[in-house]
Chain A
């Protein structure tokens, strides 16, 4: 029997706004399967986003959904989780939203190790505004504001998250659709800040400027560059040139922020 996505989708809110071939929909399906496998109670689940194509995702889910301002999702989510730690708090958004304008909130959420699961849909571009370069646009790539090729170096979002203190970091791709839910589910079950970076595609504003003739070509790229962590361990640096690691990249147990604050309350109350 086909998987039933309907029970998590908000009645009457489809069709979505995404372009044909956009990877965001694949990630949303993975997220729904993950939420389902974690048996999340949608009444007690907040899905928070910033602004961008990716950030439109929460509106389609039948949960407590909070579509905020560009870049600020992690900070709104921190407020929700801090005020009501019993809620499950998920964040979704684009690479631009999370690591450019929202970079400060992103790293500080990681540092605090607050129990939110942050899914970054990394399509290497600002899709919504028509394809300007993001901190994740490859150097040399074409974007609407890099007519001579992108001079900027790029962020590795997963490394950034690990460096900032996230205690669960995983990477998948929109091509490896069946892995997405497993990575997200593990992130949700993890106590602490979990960052799941999903490499994604934007055929409309990135693909067409960068000589991808079709969505299939973009998906092929995701297939070709992805190397599972275990496989990578057996590969030489030369073989790994141009590849990205996928799977669970980092996992650590460290006190979670709202639990730490519960101890502050206990101390203040003389316990």
Chain B
């Protein structure tokens, strides 16, 4: 049987990817350019017995998301800049309480209301550092509609597996462009559900890591009674101020991500084998970068593209290798210098790092990238 192929927007692909992953709960608050995700799910979720709720604001949406996730739901929320800022406190709550959920940020220009219908990539550092306190983050930036579909599934998988919030950092261009999307068959893509406890309710401790870095999460209403708090807590979930327990918990929550980079990181490498100049680009900007690589190669310039799909945690190791290999790394981003900070941190001066920033609501075009490459070589 031929597979279902449909022409759709990135936002629609995100909603359908969520459904494939088993998403059965959406809470959100309307905001351009993310609203189509909510619109599609308001229509589709009840068909599969799922729930859609439009909350009174983005803080409430994240709160409802976490509440639903604690009952076992696979929960999604989609927003953009101003809404993302409002959510930050509760993203930290989901981190410390270790509640799986997926939050989509369709980036537009900013700060503040900025340019609601213009694209941006200016919340990239926020995705890592937006909420207060030390924590680990997983964020993903896909670059095509098909990839948005598939990476939404992966975002749910990572959330469920690592018991934490995962952010999908889209941008307005990817979210609103239309491309054919091939729907995978059931079973074709891996779908991971969180691990349920095997111990008896009496013995259950929601943060007990004696069996592994990621303690199983019991659903509310499944027979397990336990406590969830945003305070620093001990293995039993109850608040503690004991220095050694607080320290161990915080470190475990970061280590569960940083010890599993092989599983979490995902990049695409294009023409990098002999590259003398590396373009570091993600999201819609990587599409211009790929075009630029092809054009530069035609002129005999050895350019290549490194495209992180998982943007947080940052792919330190691979970027460091590329910095050793290349004469220059050029980073086009629709912001005034965010992920380039990570490239510079990791390159440690091994090669020239050059940033192309754009915040006027226009995409970065291949010509701009080509010109810069020629300048730096």
Interface residues of A (CB under 8 A from B): 10, 13, 42-44, 46, 48, 51, 58-59, 62-69, 72, 75-84, 86-87, 104-105, 108, 261, 264-265, 267-269
Q: How far in angstroms is the closest Cβ of chain A from B366?
A: 44
CB-CB nearest in chain B for A261: B51
A252 to B55, CA, bound (A): 24
Q: List 14 A-B contacts (CB under 8 A).
A: A43-B201, A59-B238, A59-B239, A63-B225, A64-B70, A64-B220, A64-B225, A69-B90, A76-B63, A82-B53, A84-B221, A104-B57, A261-B46, A268-B46
Contact B47 A108 (CB under 8 A): no
CB-CB nearest in chain A for B61: A75
- 1/0 per residue, CB under 8 A from A, across B133-162: the answer is 000000000000000000000000000000
CB-CB nearest in chain A for B56: A108
B71 within 8 A of A: yes
Contact B229 A59 (CB under 8 A): yes
Contact B221 A58 (CB under 8 A): no
Residue from B27, B57, B221 in contact with A43 in the complex, judged by beta carbons closer than 8 Å: B221
> Which 7 A-B pairs have CB atoms at the shortest separation, nearest pair first?
A79-B67, A79-B64, A75-B63, A268-B46, A83-B68, A75-B60, A76-B67
Residue among B27, B64, B238 having the largest count of chain A Cβ atoms under 10 Å: B64
Q: How far in angstroms is the closest Cβ of chain B from A232?
A: 33
Residues 197 to 233 of chain B near chain A (Cβ within 8 Å): 201, 220-221, 223-231
A58 to B228, CA, bound (A): 10
Contact A72 B63 (CB under 8 A): yes
Residue among B63, B66, B69, B224 having the largest count of chain A Cβ atoms under 10 Å: B63
Residue from B49, B69, B201, B227 in contact with A65 in the complex, judged by beta carbons closer than 8 Å: B227
By a CB distance below 8 angstroms, the chain A residues around B59 are 72, 75, 105
17 additional contacts, CB 8 Å, given A79-B75, A108-B56? Answer: A65-B225, A65-B227, A67-B229, A68-B230, A75-B60, A75-B67, A80-B71, A82-B25, A82-B51, A83-B67, A83-B71, A84-B220, A87-B220, A105-B59, A105-B63, A267-B46, A269-B46
B93 within 8 A of A: yes
A44 to B225, CA, bound (A): 9
A83 to B71, CA, bound (A): 7
Contact of A58 with B25 at beta-carbon distance under 8 Å, contacts A75-B55, A108-B60 already known? no
Contact A80 B68 (CB under 8 A): yes
- 1/0 per residue, CB under 8 A from A, across B76-101: the answer is 00000000000001100100000000
By a CB distance below 8 angstroms, the chain B residues around A269 are 46-47, 49
Interface residues of B (CB under 8 A from A): 24-25, 27, 43, 46-47, 49, 51, 53, 55-57, 59-61, 63-73, 75, 89-90, 93, 201, 220-221, 223-231, 238-239
CB-CB nearest in chain A for B229: A67
A62 to B238, CA, bound (A): 12
A104 to B57, CA, bound (A): 8
Q: How far in angstroms is the closest Cβ of chain A from B141?
A: 27
Contact A66 B228 (CB under 8 A): yes
Contact B63 A265 (CB under 8 A): no
Contact of A42 with B225 at beta-carbon distance under 8 Å, contacts A69-B89, A69-B230, A269-B47 already known? yes
By a CB distance below 8 angstroms, the chain B residues around A79 are 25, 27, 53, 63-69, 75
Residue from A44, A72, A87 in contact with B60 in the complex, judged by beta carbons closer than 8 Å: A72
Q: How far in angstroms is the closest Cβ of chain A from B43?
A: 8
Q: How far in angstroms is the closest Cβ of chain A from B30?
A: 15
By a CB distance below 8 angstroms, the chain B residues around A87 are 71, 220-221
Q: How far in angstroms is the closest Cβ of chain B from A69?
A: 5
CB-CB nearest in chain A for B228: A66
Contact B68 A264 (CB under 8 A): no
Contact A84 B71 (CB under 8 A): yes
